[in-house]
Amino acid sequence: METAATVAVGENAYQPMKIVLSLTNYFYTILYPIILTIMRRLLNFMIIAALATAVASCNKAQDNNGRQEASATSQEETAEASTATESMVVEINQDELTKAVGDLTQPTWTNAGKRPVVIDFNATWCGPCQKLKPVLNKLAAQYKGKVDFYSVDVDENQALASALGINAIPHVLVAPVGKKPQAIQGFDSAEDFASQLAACLK
């Protein structure tokens, strides 16, 4: 009887351990893979969400930068258009030019005006002439009040162009007050032209 009772007590003592082992086995064989799969999917979702947020932020920043650059470009274009519209280069014919600076057809002509003059002989069909125009506009603004800039269309003033021996355009005459003119022929670049003009005005 004692032996049977002892055996019975021993078996009952192992029951909780068996339950724990059974639950542990159940957890690792069934629940753990499920939980691990859920966690992996959740982690992947969080990574994708973070990447999507980062991409959206970058796109928004680029869009803002693009808008700012477009706005700045638009303002610059507007300013340039305004400058072109308010050009300080005066379109002039032979008679008006003679009144302003004297008779250029005279061999001994010197600038009789109050300020140095820059006279651009050009034509509407001349490509280099059209490229030179905005450069002259900027220089006219730069020398405002110090140098007078004039534009002469050779097609409308053929007699003057012929008398001056102008057979290629653009042809720019630069004459300080009381001095004979110097010529700048052709147009390569804004920097080169500005440098030549500054040298002629000295």
Tokens encoding 100 = 């302003």
Please check the confidence at residue 11 and state whether its pLDDT lies above 70.
no
For the chain, the straight-line distance linking the first and the last C-alpha, in angstroms and rounded, comes to 134
pLDDT, averaged across the chain: 81
In the residue annotation, 126 being an active-site residue is answered as: yes
Distance CA 65, CA 73 (A): 12
Per-residue pLDDT tens digits for 186-196: 888 889 999 98
Banded model confidence at residue 142, pLDDT cuts 50, 70, 90:
very high
Please check the confidence at residue 6 and state whether its pLDDT lies above 80.
no
Q: Residue 21: what pLDDT?
A: 67
Q: Residue 7: what pLDDT?
A: 45
Closest to 144 in 3D by CA, of 87, 70, 59:
87
Q: Residue 166: what pLDDT?
A: 92
pTM higher than the cut 0.85? no
Q: Residue 119: what pLDDT?
A: 94
Distance CA 74, CA 53 (A): 31
Q: Please tell me which of 7-16, 36-45, 81-90 the model is most confident about, judged by mean pLDDT.
A: 36-45
Per-residue pLDDT tens digits for 33-84: 787 788 888 888 888 888 888 887 777 777 776 677 666 665 655 445 444 4
Tell me the C-alpha to C-alpha distance, in Å, between residue 108 and each of 13, 19, 102, 105, 200.
Answer: 133, 124, 11, 9, 18
Banded model confidence at residue 27, pLDDT cuts 50, 70, 90:
low
CATH class name, domain 90-201: alpha beta
What is the domain partition of the chain in residue ranges? 1-86, 90-201
Given CA atoms 91, 93, 95, 100 in this order, what sign does their dihedral have? positive
DSSP secondary structure letters along 124-141: TT-HHHHHHHHHHHHHHH
Q: Which of 89, 92, 119, 129 is catalytic?
A: 129
In the residue annotation, 129 being an active-site residue is answered as: yes
Q: Which of 92, 101, 126, 161 is catalytic?
A: 126
